[in-house]
Structure 1
Amino acid sequence: MMDRIDLALLRALGRDARLPVSRMAEEIGLSQSACTRRIQALEASGWIAGYAARFGLRAIGFRVTALVDITLSTQSEEELARFERAVAVIPGVVECMLVSGSHDYRLKIVCRDLDDYERIHREHLGRLPCVTTINSSFVLRAIPTRSEAEALFGPA
Protein backbone atom coordinates (compact mmCIF):
# COMPACT_ATOMS: atom_id res chain seq x y z
CA MET A 1 0.00 0.00 0.00
CA MET A 2 1.23 3.48 -0.90
CA ASP A 3 1.98 5.80 2.03
CA ARG A 4 2.92 9.48 2.29
CA ILE A 5 6.65 8.70 1.95
CA ASP A 6 6.10 6.76 -1.27
CA LEU A 7 4.00 9.65 -2.60
CA ALA A 8 6.73 12.12 -1.67
CA LEU A 9 9.29 9.97 -3.50
CA LEU A 10 7.09 9.79 -6.61
CA ARG A 11 6.60 13.57 -6.58
CA ALA A 12 10.35 14.17 -6.16
CA LEU A 13 11.22 11.77 -8.98
CA GLY A 14 8.48 13.31 -11.14
CA ARG A 15 10.06 16.73 -10.70
CA ASP A 16 13.62 15.53 -11.31
CA ALA A 17 14.46 11.86 -11.83
CA ARG A 18 18.16 12.75 -11.71
CA LEU A 19 17.91 14.10 -8.17
CA PRO A 20 20.59 12.34 -6.11
CA VAL A 21 19.17 9.83 -3.63
CA SER A 22 21.07 11.59 -0.84
CA ARG A 23 19.23 14.86 -1.54
CA MET A 24 15.87 13.14 -1.97
CA ALA A 25 16.36 11.29 1.32
CA GLU A 26 17.21 14.55 3.07
CA GLU A 27 14.12 16.33 1.66
CA ILE A 28 11.80 13.49 2.67
CA GLY A 29 13.41 12.73 6.01
CA LEU A 30 14.78 9.25 5.33
CA SER A 31 18.21 7.70 5.49
CA GLN A 32 19.85 7.24 2.11
CA SER A 33 19.62 3.45 2.36
CA ALA A 34 15.91 3.57 3.32
CA CYS A 35 15.26 5.94 0.43
CA THR A 36 17.05 3.61 -2.00
CA ARG A 37 15.06 0.60 -0.73
CA ARG A 38 11.78 2.50 -1.12
CA ILE A 39 12.64 3.51 -4.69
CA GLN A 40 13.61 -0.06 -5.55
CA ALA A 41 10.31 -1.31 -4.08
CA LEU A 42 8.38 1.25 -6.17
CA GLU A 43 10.25 0.06 -9.27
CA ALA A 44 9.65 -3.63 -8.46
CA SER A 45 5.93 -3.04 -7.88
CA GLY A 46 5.55 -1.28 -11.24
CA TRP A 47 4.70 2.11 -9.71
CA ILE A 48 7.83 3.42 -11.41
CA ALA A 49 7.91 2.03 -14.93
CA GLY A 50 11.22 3.57 -15.99
CA TYR A 51 13.21 6.74 -16.42
CA ALA A 52 13.64 8.80 -19.57
CA ALA A 53 14.95 12.12 -20.79
CA ARG A 54 12.54 14.69 -22.18
CA PHE A 55 13.88 16.29 -25.33
CA GLY A 56 13.58 19.87 -26.48
CA LEU A 57 12.07 18.79 -29.79
CA ARG A 58 12.30 22.20 -31.45
CA ALA A 59 15.91 22.58 -30.33
CA ILE A 60 16.88 19.32 -32.05
CA GLY A 61 15.01 20.12 -35.25
CA PHE A 62 11.60 18.49 -34.76
CA ARG A 63 9.28 21.45 -35.26
CA VAL A 64 6.01 19.70 -36.16
CA THR A 65 3.85 17.47 -33.99
CA ALA A 66 0.95 15.72 -35.70
CA LEU A 67 -1.98 14.03 -33.99
CA VAL A 68 -3.26 11.41 -36.40
CA ASP A 69 -6.63 9.69 -35.98
CA ILE A 70 -6.94 6.40 -37.84
CA THR A 71 -10.01 4.29 -38.49
CA LEU A 72 -9.65 0.65 -39.46
CA SER A 73 -11.92 -1.46 -41.64
CA THR A 74 -11.98 -4.25 -39.04
CA GLN A 75 -11.18 -4.68 -35.38
CA SER A 76 -10.27 -8.35 -35.27
CA GLU A 77 -7.50 -9.18 -32.83
CA GLU A 78 -5.26 -10.32 -35.69
CA GLU A 79 -5.72 -7.10 -37.65
CA LEU A 80 -5.24 -4.89 -34.58
CA ALA A 81 -1.99 -6.73 -33.81
CA ARG A 82 -0.88 -6.44 -37.46
CA PHE A 83 -1.63 -2.71 -37.46
CA GLU A 84 0.21 -2.16 -34.15
CA ARG A 85 3.31 -4.04 -35.38
CA ALA A 86 3.36 -1.91 -38.53
CA VAL A 87 3.02 1.35 -36.56
CA ALA A 88 5.78 0.37 -34.12
CA VAL A 89 8.47 0.73 -36.82
CA ILE A 90 7.37 4.06 -38.32
CA PRO A 91 9.98 6.76 -37.68
CA GLY A 92 8.65 9.67 -35.64
CA VAL A 93 5.73 7.85 -34.02
CA VAL A 94 6.16 8.56 -30.31
CA GLU A 95 2.72 7.33 -29.17
CA CYS A 96 0.12 4.95 -30.51
CA MET A 97 -3.12 4.67 -28.58
CA LEU A 98 -6.15 2.46 -29.17
CA VAL A 99 -9.01 4.86 -28.40
CA SER A 100 -12.76 4.91 -28.01
CA GLY A 101 -14.93 7.15 -30.13
CA SER A 102 -15.21 7.65 -33.86
CA HIS A 103 -11.63 6.53 -34.60
CA ASP A 104 -9.75 3.41 -33.61
CA TYR A 105 -6.22 4.76 -33.03
CA ARG A 106 -4.53 8.05 -32.32
CA LEU A 107 -0.87 8.47 -33.19
CA LYS A 108 1.42 11.23 -32.02
CA ILE A 109 4.11 11.86 -34.60
CA VAL A 110 7.01 14.30 -34.35
CA CYS A 111 8.75 15.37 -37.53
CA ARG A 112 11.07 18.06 -38.80
CA ASP A 113 8.58 19.97 -40.94
CA LEU A 114 5.48 19.50 -43.11
CA ASP A 115 7.54 18.01 -45.93
CA ASP A 116 8.84 15.40 -43.49
CA TYR A 117 5.27 14.66 -42.34
CA GLU A 118 4.14 14.33 -45.96
CA ARG A 119 6.95 11.78 -46.53
CA ILE A 120 5.94 9.81 -43.41
CA HIS A 121 2.32 9.87 -44.60
CA ARG A 122 3.21 8.74 -48.13
CA GLU A 123 5.81 6.10 -47.19
CA HIS A 124 4.24 4.70 -44.01
CA LEU A 125 0.78 5.87 -42.94
CA GLY A 126 -0.76 5.39 -46.37
CA ARG A 127 0.54 1.80 -46.43
CA LEU A 128 -0.75 0.67 -43.03
CA PRO A 129 -2.99 -2.42 -43.10
CA CYS A 130 -6.81 -2.16 -42.85
CA VAL A 131 -6.89 1.65 -42.77
CA THR A 132 -10.03 3.33 -44.09
CA THR A 133 -9.45 6.92 -42.90
CA ILE A 134 -6.54 9.04 -41.74
CA ASN A 135 -7.24 12.46 -40.18
CA SER A 136 -4.27 14.62 -39.26
CA SER A 137 -4.21 17.63 -36.94
CA PHE A 138 -1.13 19.68 -36.19
CA VAL A 139 -0.20 21.05 -32.79
CA LEU A 140 0.07 24.83 -32.98
CA ARG A 141 1.30 25.26 -29.44
CA ALA A 142 1.80 22.89 -26.51
CA ILE A 143 0.79 24.43 -23.21
CA PRO A 144 3.01 23.43 -20.26
CA THR A 145 1.09 21.80 -17.44
CA ARG A 146 1.96 20.09 -14.19
CA SER A 147 4.32 17.16 -14.04
CA GLU A 148 2.76 13.72 -14.35
CA ALA A 149 3.47 13.12 -10.65
CA GLU A 150 1.68 16.35 -9.62
CA ALA A 151 -1.27 15.60 -11.92
CA LEU A 152 -1.65 12.09 -10.46
CA PHE A 153 -0.75 12.61 -6.80
CA GLY A 154 -1.22 16.34 -6.20
CA PRO A 155 1.35 18.93 -5.14
CA ALA A 156 3.85 18.21 -2.42
Structure 2
Amino acid sequence: MELASLAESATERGKLRTALAGLAVAGISISAYLAWVHFAGIDPLCVAGSDGCDTVQSSQYASVLSVPVSVLGLAGYTGLLFASVLKGEAGAYLVLLLALSGTLFSTYLTYLEIFVIEAICQWCVASAAVITAALVCATLRVVGLPTHR
Protein backbone atom coordinates (compact mmCIF):
# COMPACT_ATOMS: atom_id res chain seq x y z
CA MET A 1 0.00 0.00 0.00
CA GLU A 2 1.45 3.37 -0.91
CA LEU A 3 2.02 6.20 1.56
CA ALA A 4 -0.85 8.42 0.32
CA SER A 5 -3.27 5.52 0.65
CA LEU A 6 -2.05 4.77 4.18
CA ALA A 7 -2.49 8.42 5.19
CA GLU A 8 -6.01 8.45 3.73
CA SER A 9 -6.86 5.26 5.63
CA ALA A 10 -5.53 6.74 8.87
CA THR A 11 -7.62 9.88 8.32
CA GLU A 12 -10.74 7.79 7.70
CA ARG A 13 -10.10 5.71 10.83
CA GLY A 14 -9.70 8.95 12.79
CA LYS A 15 -13.04 10.17 11.47
CA LEU A 16 -14.66 6.87 12.46
CA ARG A 17 -13.18 7.13 15.98
CA THR A 18 -14.60 10.67 16.23
CA ALA A 19 -18.01 9.51 14.97
CA LEU A 20 -17.99 6.62 17.45
CA ALA A 21 -17.11 8.95 20.31
CA GLY A 22 -19.95 11.28 19.29
CA LEU A 23 -22.41 8.39 19.13
CA ALA A 24 -21.23 7.19 22.54
CA VAL A 25 -21.85 10.67 23.99
CA ALA A 26 -25.34 10.66 22.47
CA GLY A 27 -25.99 7.23 24.00
CA ILE A 28 -24.66 8.38 27.38
CA SER A 29 -27.01 11.37 27.24
CA ILE A 30 -30.06 9.20 26.49
CA SER A 31 -29.15 6.60 29.11
CA ALA A 32 -28.33 9.21 31.75
CA TYR A 33 -31.69 10.91 31.18
CA LEU A 34 -33.56 7.60 31.48
CA ALA A 35 -31.57 6.65 34.60
CA TRP A 36 -32.40 10.04 36.15
CA VAL A 37 -36.08 9.52 35.30
CA HIS A 38 -35.96 6.07 36.90
CA PHE A 39 -34.32 7.17 40.14
CA ALA A 40 -36.32 10.41 40.39
CA GLY A 41 -39.53 8.41 39.96
CA ILE A 42 -40.92 10.71 37.27
CA ASP A 43 -42.45 10.02 33.87
CA PRO A 44 -40.12 10.46 30.90
CA LEU A 45 -40.89 13.22 28.43
CA CYS A 46 -42.30 11.79 25.22
CA VAL A 47 -43.18 13.47 21.95
CA ALA A 48 -46.89 13.87 21.17
CA GLY A 49 -47.92 12.88 24.69
CA SER A 50 -47.29 9.18 24.11
CA ASP A 51 -47.35 7.06 27.25
CA GLY A 52 -45.20 4.34 25.66
CA CYS A 53 -42.08 5.48 27.47
CA ASP A 54 -43.76 5.29 30.87
CA THR A 55 -45.25 1.88 30.04
CA VAL A 56 -41.86 0.50 29.00
CA GLN A 57 -39.99 2.14 31.91
CA SER A 58 -42.43 0.72 34.46
CA SER A 59 -42.55 -2.79 32.97
CA GLN A 60 -40.93 -5.84 34.56
CA TYR A 61 -38.35 -5.73 31.74
CA ALA A 62 -37.00 -2.30 32.72
CA SER A 63 -34.42 -3.93 35.03
CA VAL A 64 -32.04 -6.86 34.77
CA LEU A 65 -31.17 -8.43 38.14
CA SER A 66 -32.49 -5.26 39.83
CA VAL A 67 -30.25 -3.01 37.70
CA PRO A 68 -32.21 -0.57 35.52
CA VAL A 69 -31.62 -1.12 31.80
CA SER A 70 -30.78 2.59 31.53
CA VAL A 71 -27.86 2.09 33.94
CA LEU A 72 -26.64 -0.86 31.85
CA GLY A 73 -26.86 1.40 28.81
CA LEU A 74 -24.94 4.12 30.62
CA ALA A 75 -22.17 1.65 31.45
CA GLY A 76 -22.11 0.26 27.91
CA TYR A 77 -21.99 3.66 26.22
CA THR A 78 -19.29 4.85 28.65
CA GLY A 79 -17.21 1.80 27.77
CA LEU A 80 -17.82 2.51 24.10
CA LEU A 81 -16.65 6.11 24.56
CA PHE A 82 -13.38 5.06 26.17
CA ALA A 83 -12.81 2.26 23.66
CA SER A 84 -13.57 4.53 20.69
CA VAL A 85 -10.48 6.65 21.30
CA LEU A 86 -8.15 3.64 21.34
CA LYS A 87 -6.07 3.30 18.21
CA GLY A 88 -5.02 0.11 16.48
CA GLU A 89 -6.51 -3.33 16.11
CA ALA A 90 -7.25 -3.89 19.79
CA GLY A 91 -9.28 -0.68 20.01
CA ALA A 92 -11.12 -1.40 16.77
CA TYR A 93 -12.08 -4.92 17.82
CA LEU A 94 -13.07 -3.84 21.35
CA VAL A 95 -15.39 -1.18 19.91
CA LEU A 96 -16.85 -3.75 17.51
CA LEU A 97 -17.47 -6.18 20.39
CA LEU A 98 -19.15 -3.50 22.53
CA ALA A 99 -21.27 -2.17 19.66
CA LEU A 100 -22.31 -5.67 18.57
CA SER A 101 -23.23 -6.64 22.16
CA GLY A 102 -25.18 -3.41 22.59
CA THR A 103 -27.00 -3.86 19.30
CA LEU A 104 -27.98 -7.44 20.13
CA PHE A 105 -29.25 -6.40 23.58
CA SER A 106 -31.09 -3.45 22.05
CA THR A 107 -32.68 -5.74 19.45
CA TYR A 108 -33.92 -8.00 22.25
CA LEU A 109 -35.33 -5.02 24.15
CA THR A 110 -37.04 -3.73 21.00
CA TYR A 111 -38.60 -7.16 20.50
CA LEU A 112 -39.92 -6.99 24.08
CA GLU A 113 -41.32 -3.50 23.49
CA ILE A 114 -43.20 -4.48 20.34
CA PHE A 115 -44.37 -8.02 21.05
CA VAL A 116 -44.51 -8.38 24.84
CA ILE A 117 -44.99 -4.95 26.42
CA GLU A 118 -46.89 -3.67 23.36
CA ALA A 119 -45.60 -0.13 23.82
CA ILE A 120 -42.83 1.86 22.15
CA CYS A 121 -40.47 4.10 24.10
CA GLN A 122 -39.13 6.85 21.86
CA TRP A 123 -35.99 7.17 23.99
CA CYS A 124 -35.35 3.44 23.61
CA VAL A 125 -35.78 3.69 19.84
CA ALA A 126 -33.32 6.59 19.79
CA SER A 127 -30.83 4.53 21.78
CA ALA A 128 -31.32 1.59 19.41
CA ALA A 129 -30.59 3.88 16.45
CA VAL A 130 -27.45 5.22 18.15
CA ILE A 131 -26.02 1.78 18.98
CA THR A 132 -26.85 0.48 15.49
CA ALA A 133 -25.04 3.46 13.93
CA ALA A 134 -22.12 2.72 16.26
CA LEU A 135 -22.07 -0.88 15.02
CA VAL A 136 -21.93 0.33 11.41
CA CYS A 137 -19.03 2.69 12.23
CA ALA A 138 -17.24 0.00 14.23
CA THR A 139 -17.60 -2.47 11.36
CA LEU A 140 -16.25 0.07 8.87
CA ARG A 141 -13.34 0.74 11.20
CA VAL A 142 -12.43 -2.95 11.40
CA VAL A 143 -12.88 -3.47 7.65
CA GLY A 144 -10.58 -0.49 7.04
CA LEU A 145 -7.71 -1.88 9.11
CA PRO A 146 -4.57 -2.44 7.09
CA THR A 147 -3.88 -6.11 6.45
CA HIS A 148 -0.69 -7.63 7.77
CA ARG A 149 1.42 -9.75 5.44
Q: Aligning the two structures, in what range does the TM-score lie when normalised by the shorter sequence?
A: under 0.3
The structure where strand makes up a greater share of residues is 1
Larger RCO of the pair (alpha carbons < 8 Å, separation 6+): 2
- Name which one, 1 or 2, has greater alpha-carbon Rg: 1
TM-score (norm 2): 0.22
TM normalised by structure 1 equals: 0.22
